[in-house]
Amino acid sequence: MMESIYLMPGMGANPNIFEFLDLPNQFQLKFLSWIPPRKNETLDHYSKRMSEKVRHKNPILIGVSFGGVLVQEMAKYIDCKKIIIISSIKSKWELPKHIRLAKFTNAHKLLPTKWITNIETFALFVFGKGIQIRIENYQRYLSERDPEYLNWAIDRLVKWNKCIPIPGIIHIHGAQDSVFPLKYIQDPFIKILGDHAIILTKSDWFNINLPKIINENLVDS
């Protein structure tokens, strides 16, 4: 039976980040892209609009980084077989302390816009420290750089208020993740060697293990 998988990239990224995924034919991959947020739009309302792009019943939702936050919100409006987040967080308690603090200080709203136009600075923000990708690929993967969208996305991440993880959610996380450090990540999760960009740098691991993870959970569900 064909299983539909909808994949949501991380903040600022486009579906090219999934280009190295090579899953068996039983999986039909559908790629989601960021849409412009409306003025003062809540994450809940945005996720409802995004959920309308899911055309298959009982899909598997996979989200990377802030895309992982989004698919958890989308699951409020979709009956899905499984939610898988990669390099992401399951609740606000997994945010690093400086991001949680920003909720009260609004320091994130003081970021200069020039960091968006500098692709290397932007890549460091999105992928974290230690990522080694050629500069032309930064531009290939990080095309969603509209300042209004990014300011909205950062604010919604900082102010995400989910306290209790979704039961049965699958969380895959890099041991060297510098955006969402491992010390804040709570069980259960699958730890693999790698940084915040494991969807790119550890594609071989995902190609071998993601089908097993999905199928095991589908059998259990």
CA 219 – CA 59 distance, rounded (Å) = 15
Ramachandran bin of 58, using left for φ above 0, alpha for ψ from -120 to 50, beta for the remaining angles:
left
Tokens for 145, please give them.
């750089």
Does residue 196 have a pLDDT over 70? yes
Handedness of CA 188, 16, 117, 136 (dihedral sign): positive
pLDDT at 98: 82
Residue with tokens 């500069």: 135
CA 58 – CA 13 distance, rounded (Å) = 25
The CATH number of the domain holding residue 11 is: 3.40.50.1820
pLDDT in tens, 40-90: 999 999 999 999 999 999 999 999 999 999 999 999 999 999 999 999 999
pLDDT in tens, 107-127: 555 455 555 566 566 666 666
pLDDT at 60: 97
- Give the total number of structural domains in the chain: 1
Which DSSP string do the residues of 76-104 spell out, in sequence order?
A: TTS--SEEEEES--SSGGGS-HHHHHHHH
Taking residues 158-180, report their average pLDDT: 95
Does residue 136 have a pLDDT over 70? no
pLDDT level of residue 26 (50, 70, 90 thresholds): very high
Q: Closest by alpha carbon to 181, among 96, 93, 63?
A: 96
pTM of the model: 0.89
- Name the residue range of residue 195's domain: 3-220
